[in-house]
Structure 1
Amino acid sequence: MKIVVVDDEALARKRILKLLEESDVSTQIFEVSSGKEAILQINTIQPDLVFLDIQMTDMTGFEVLKKINIDKIPSIIFVTAFDNFAVKAFEVEAIDFLLKPYKKERFLEALHRGIEKIEIEEKKVFKSKINRLIQFLSHEDSNIEKEKDMFLDRIVLKTGKKYRFVKVDEIKFIVSSAYYAEIFTVNDEKHVYRISMSDFIKRLDSEKFIRVNRSTIVCINRINEVISEGMGDYSIIMNDKKTFSVSKNFRNSFLKKMKIKL
């Protein structure tokens, strides 16, 4: 069975590939890191199953969906970090999705449901559902990339049987730690949240938070100084004196947001 894994986050693709390898399904796997590449791969190799990320840097999974060959639609499992608009859209037509972060058991459930949809007698029904999903999305006034209500205003953290809530407005900065994010707040508390940095920054208001390097997201209003280190290198000092470097990959977007000219 040919499977295409589409996600612009390398760790997210790696997790899916690992779980596929641990499953009892014989597969030929193709991984892609952008929407444009996904369209080309899907239309070219005509896979049986696609794990499709919803929010990518160049386009959304919905935009990919609209540009693939609808006559040879594969079984699709959507992968998303957003638990509002996207999930509602999928539930309209009972199309399977994985909500990040997901457990192995949930992944295998989605995988086997996706395999079931590959059966010939289900393909016409699935194609019809995909068409209706596209229509549903086309008639929505809200754009998932711009919806303000998709941004987190608080984070729910589970410890044992207890749930704790951290207000986003109290966050100073966030530092990655493998598959987890370490959240530091104004009252000097540290919380651990299972999410990748790429997914986390998408769920934070870009007017309030910015990513300065692969492992760090900071609250813009809590930046005290920006220092030019020479040779195009920059660093920042937060209000609490914590310092972070601005990597070259994020430098231009950071300087533009801070209204600093090169």
Structure 2
Amino acid sequence: MAPLRILIVDDEALALDRLETLLARIADVVVVGRATDGIDALDRIAALTPDVMLLDIQMPGLDGLGVAAALDGGQRPDLVFVTAHDHHAPAAFDVDAVDYLLKPVDPDRLARAVARVRLRRHGRPPGPGTTTGVDASPTGHDLWVPDRTGLRRVAVADIDWIEAARDYVLLHAADRSHMLRVTMTDLERRLAGSALVRVHRSAFVRPDRVARIGRSGRTAILILTDGTQVQVGPSYLDRLEAILAG
């Protein structure tokens, strides 16, 4: 498999240096260029045709969201936003971002974002509880989320876990995340009878994605197969342990 060709974009040299250092630890990726503003990024995309762009949002002149909006389908790399501000997440997912990382970037979180890009580009082999994508036969639990061109159906069978994000929820699949404006209470009603289990007032998890249960003091932590850690609320623990025990 050819290495992922990555363009990194940030108006701060130290942020670019850190991204390049962290990416050097990930196998089969190569940083093909750096850009320090939106106009520079568009020029380098045209010249370098990267597979992926790690893109800051707040930059002078043309910002990261403006760069995303200016890209056409033919030259558009997969986008992973890297920013110090969480309130841009809805806009980032509106332009079909694969992932959204907060600064300071965690190395493991960056590695998972790169893995998501790979899966999005090459597909995840079907397995237990996995469909071949959103074109699979719909069920009553499938969710419709907005994207750049309208609405996209997300099969619940493709979702690994869900977390609350202020007035939204983030639906985390292996290859990307989706953002949906809905309350956790309403979502719990929609997901009744599905494979997703509520494990916290702010989270749902697919049990077959749980690798183990860890402990931190009195708190239970689910470690998923991709390394993601999800806290379990005390009132949900007994039911979850019964489900995991079969």
- TM bucket, shorter chain: 0.3 to 0.5
What TM-score results when the alignment is normalised by the length of structure 1?
0.44
TM-score, normalisation: structure 2: 0.46
Which has the greater radius of gyration?
1
